[in-house]
Amino acid sequence: MTGPSTAVPRILIAESDPWNRDLLMQLLLSVRCDARVEVYEDGKQALQALENRPDLIIASRELPGTDGLELLRQVRRGAVAPGLPFILLSNRGDSTSVREAVPLAPTAYLTKPVNFEALRERLSALLLEEGEQVYCEIPPLLPGLKLDNFLEMRREASDGAPVMTEVHDAVVRSLKARTLNLRVLEEDIRTDPQITAVLLAAANSAARHREGPVNTLMQALTRLGATQSMNLILGLALKRSARLDDPQLTGHAQMFWKRSLATAELARTLARQHGIDQELCYCAGLLHRLGELALLRTLHEWKLAGGKLEDGQVDRVIQRFGANFGSALRARWRLPLDLRELIASVYALMGVYGKPALVMNLSGQLANLAAEDDIKPVVESKAARLLGMDAASLAALRKNS
């Protein structure tokens, strides 16, 4: 492809890290929603895919098998479109590494973490005429598809919860300092289950790090770094249905979000009182309703594609599918086992458990109490008894939460 074109482009992405792959795909689709994107995790697969004659390649230099530099070399030597636009991404920005690539004439050589907006501008120049925009309709549902079948299909591949934070405002505030400020960024996004879960998953990605599990938001931000963290946050906002704007669903989402926040805050307070990890308990509380929120986002997708929701149907499918959506997400995103076990303890105490599990279970019970509910069942629960919490201390905790 020698310049912008309105023809539907075929784009090849070669990137070993799953979160970077997803980010690149979302960025591409935000520029050309009609693009046919092929994604590969190693250079050998990408090399074989050149037979499909892509219009643009975006590849990481650090690929298993055939690395990105060799992939570029093969493209430039080959008879199949030797002038093909090729954006090479690399962890290596030293002069020696750059000089190795220059003779192969990459369209761009970008060091990681990539500047999100700069890459988007470059893609726009390659894929669009000046001032051109491409509009894509949402594909309709398959004829005769029932809601339960749709949810079964989406359970293992859902995009997660809706984004509850004003992402753009959060990023702008974090940039007001002279340098990217992780503490400011954390304060702005720490109440958002989806952002927290995705950053944790990206930081724990086996393709990226092997230093041990990351269990809290600040640990994730520190491991990823400010630029990559903000790239991922901005990427979340690009996805379709990232924000709920359907009145039939937003009330449910606000309810589950508020319960998550209440559980998280109670867990942090109890953890401080009992000398255990406050941020780990806060994180577990925040994420324990991730499944219900993910299900609501999937219902939004159903409606965007032309599906209908009858009265009472939302409550029914939340009851049936909510927990399964959460379990599938936590497993697919490979959240650390310790964190997943704490999330599970909000619902029930099982097997051998320690203080953190008791704190989470008690926090979940308190968060689910309505203002008019009697606190006595919580006082008599196993978690309250083992933590030594009497009616007065629980009432005070409930009042101050």
| DSSP string over 64-92 | SSS-HHHHHHHHHHSSS-TT--EEEEES-
Q: Identify which of 135, 154, 134, 193 has the alpha carbon closest to the alpha carbon of residue 300.
A: 154
Edge-first strand listing for the sheet containing 10-14: 36-40, 10-14, 56-60, 86-90, 108-111
What mean pLDDT value characterizes the chain? 90
CA distance 153 to 161: 17
pLDDT for 172 equals: 64
Angle between helices 226-238 and 182-189 (to 10 degrees): 30
Look at residue 399 and tell me whether its pLDDT is greater than 90: no
CA distance 188 to 401: 20
Hey, what are 337's tokens?
A: 């086992």
CA Rg value for the chain: 24
Element (H, E) at 128: none
pLDDT for 179 equals: 60
pLDDT-based confidence at residue 82 (cuts at 50, 70, 90):
confident
Residue showing tokens 């809706």: 162
Query: Do 112 and 91 touch, CB atoms closer than 8 A?
Result: yes
pLDDT-based confidence at residue 174 (cuts at 50, 70, 90):
low
Rounded to 10 degrees, what is the CA torsion of 359, 360, 363, 367? 180
φ, ψ of residue 56 to 5 degrees: the values are -160, 140
Residue showing tokens 């308190």: 366
* 324 vs 172, more confident: 324
Query: Do 108 and 122 touch, CB atoms closer than 8 A?
Result: yes
In the predicted model, what is the mean pLDDT of residues 60-66?
92
* 134 vs 180, more confident: 134
Hey, what are 81's tokens?
A: 């479109």
pLDDT for 168 equals: 65
The residue type found at 115 is N
Contacts of 55 (CB under 8 A, 6+ apart): 1, 5, 9, 10, 11, 84, 85
Contacts of 223 (CB under 8 A, 6+ apart): 203, 209, 211, 214
Look at residue 317 and tell me whether its pLDDT is greater than 80: yes
The topology under which CATH files domain 10-127 is: Rossmann fold (3.40.50)
- Residue range 129-153, pLDDT digits in tens: 877 878 888 888 889 999 999 999 9
- Residue range 281-314, pLDDT digits in tens: 999 999 999 999 999 999 999 999 999 999 899 9
CA distance 229 to 130: 30
Q: Identify which of 44, 52, 63 has the alpha carbon closest to the alpha carbon of residue 12.
A: 52
CA distance 159 to 180: 27
pLDDT for 208 equals: 54
pLDDT for 2 equals: 45
Hey, what are 382's tokens?
A: 């196993």
Task: Give the whole-number percent of the chain exceeding pLDDT 90.
Answer: 68
Say whether 312 sits in a helix, a strand or coil. Answer: coil
Hey, what are 104's tokens?
A: 């192969």
Hey, what are 107's tokens?
A: 């369209």
Q: What is the pTM of this model?
A: 0.87
For the chain, give every domain's residue range: 10-127, 167-238, 247-400
For the domain covering 247-400, report its CATH number: 1.10.3210.10
pLDDT for 210 equals: 64
